[in-house]
């Protein structure tokens, strides 16, 4: 965790082409509402799945969430700020995270800005939360996730619990978003905790 007195906490949210675009939107909304400085990247296939699942492009969501357009980076632009280890971050989350992006990062390959930003977080020891959504996982997926976990990433699968008695799909989404915020060290009231 950075310890810069008086500075707003700064997070990067990346959305890839796995199913579950709504998880990414919910995390972006929660971070923006908590007063953090939010930066975002969406992959080409993340954009495709976002439109498929929410009927809106990412840019439209960014506007409704109040995220500054200049803090949304082109996934193909490897010269954007998150590509550098000198870009200060309190943490990053890739949500949802495709097996393609997991595989690229586990191999150390920077196929786009999201992979580069994830690998930078690992080398700089910034908290990195990966939210895979695949079913079932192949042995290759499991090995890749193990590699990333050993390198310091948190693998937080998009598998909501039911002990908090969810009544709506939003309750299920909020549970995962809340678990992500827990890992980023941000207080929230997204779900009722087990007592
Ligand atoms: C509608 C749709 C749903 C998909 N869902 C998943 C998924 O749940 N998990 C996954 O790993 N890939 C999924 N894919 C495949 C990825 O989009 C594909 O592997 C792509 O190369 C990911 O690229 P990215 O990692 O750069 O976003 C889906 C693709 C489409 C079109």
Q: Would you say 130 and 148 are in contact if contact means Cβ atoms under 8 Å apart?
A: yes
In a domain, 155, yes or no: yes
For residue 129, the Cα-to-chain-centroid distance in whole angstroms is 7
3-state secondary structure of 134: coil
Which residue's alpha carbon is at the smallest distance from atom 30 of ligand 1?
49
In a domain, 131, yes or no: yes
In a domain, 3, yes or no: no
| Nearest alpha carbon to residue 70 among 81, 85, 60 | 81
Phi, psi of 181 (to 5 degrees): -65, -35
Which residue's alpha carbon is at the smallest distance from atom 13 of ligand 1?
18
User: Ligand 1 centroid vs 57 CA: distance in angstroms?
Assistant: 16
| pTM for the predicted model, two decimal places | 0.96
pLDDT for position 168: 97
pLDDT for position 132: 98
pLDDT for position 116: 98
pLDDT for position 7: 67
Number of domains in the chain: 1
User: Ligand 1 centroid vs 47 CA: distance in angstroms?
Assistant: 10
In a domain, 89, yes or no: yes
CATH of the domain at 98: 3.40.50.1950
In a domain, 190, yes or no: no
In a domain, 21, yes or no: yes
Which residue's alpha carbon is at the smallest distance from atom 1 of ligand 1?
49
pLDDT for position 181: 97
* pLDDT tens over the chain, length 195 residues: 555 555 689 999 999 999 999 999 999 999 999 999 999 999 999 999 999 999 999 999 999 998 999 999 999 999 999 999 999 999 999 999 999 999 999 999 999 999 999 999 999 999 999 999 999 999 999 999 999 999 999 999 999 999 989 999 999 999 999 999 999 999 999 998 888
Structural domain of residue 27, as residue ranges?
10-184
Q: 154-155 and 128-132 as β-strands: parallel, antiparallel, unpaired?
A: parallel
In a domain, 191, yes or no: no
User: Ligand 1 centroid vs 96 CA: distance in angstroms?
Assistant: 9
Ligand 1 residue neighbourhood (C-beta within 6 Å): 16-19, 43, 45-46, 48-49, 52, 98-101, 133-134
Secondary structure tally for the chain: helices H, strands E: 7, 6
In a domain, 118, yes or no: yes
């Amino acid at each position: 965790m950075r310890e810069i007195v008086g500075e707003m906490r700064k997070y990067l949210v990346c959305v890839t082409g796995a199913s579950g675009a709504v998880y990414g939107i919910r995390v972006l909304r929660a971070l923006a509402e908590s007063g953090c400085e939010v930066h975002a990247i969406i992959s080409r296939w993340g954009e495709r799945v976002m439109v498929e699942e929410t009927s809106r492009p990412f840019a439209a969501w960014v506007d409704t969430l109040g995220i500054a357009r200049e803090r949304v980076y082109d996934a193909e632009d490897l010269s954007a700020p998150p590509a550098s280890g000198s870009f200060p971050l309190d943490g990053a989350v890739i949500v949802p995270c495709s097996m393609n992006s997991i595989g690229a990062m586990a191999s150390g390959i920077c196929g786009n800005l999201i992979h580069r930003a994830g690998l930078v977080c690992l080398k700089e020891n910034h908290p990195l939360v990966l939210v895979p959504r695949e079913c079932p996982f192949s042995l290759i997926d499991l090995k890749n996730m193990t590699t990333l976990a050993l390198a310091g990433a948190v693998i937080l699968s998009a598998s909501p619990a039911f002990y908090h008695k969810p009544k709506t799909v939003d309750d299920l989404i909020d549970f995962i978003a809340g678990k992500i915020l827990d890992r980023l060290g941000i207080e929230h009231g997204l779900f009722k905790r087990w007592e």
